[in-house]
Amino acid sequence: MTINKADIEEKSKGPARVTTDEGSVRERTIDELIKADKYNKAQEIGDAPLHGLRISRCKPGGPV
């Protein structure tokens, strides 16, 4: 799930909670959606293989 600007605009215009004779429905808040998006991205990063740089220092063996 990725949140884009259109999703945030749509959620902010609609009601947060609706109650009818059959029951009630509550939408997730924008804050909850952002937290879920961050969590999902962190999970994707955790599953991905490492593609970073490895820096190491080599010392020549011998008298200085």
Mean predicted lDDT score pLDDT of the chain: 78
Burial class, 55, CB count within 10 angstroms (exposed 0-12 / middle 13-18 / buried 19+): exposed
User: How sure is the predictor about 50, in pLDDT bands with cuts at 50, 70 and 90?
Assistant: low
pLDDT per residue as tens digits for the range 51-62: 677 778 888 876
pLDDT (0 to 100) of residue 9: 75
Q: Is the pLDDT of residue 18 over 60?
A: yes
The neighbouring-strand residues paired with 9 are: none
Phi, psi of 52 (to 5 degrees): -90, 180
Q: Where are the domains of the chain?
A: 5-47
Is this structure's pTM higher than 0.75? no
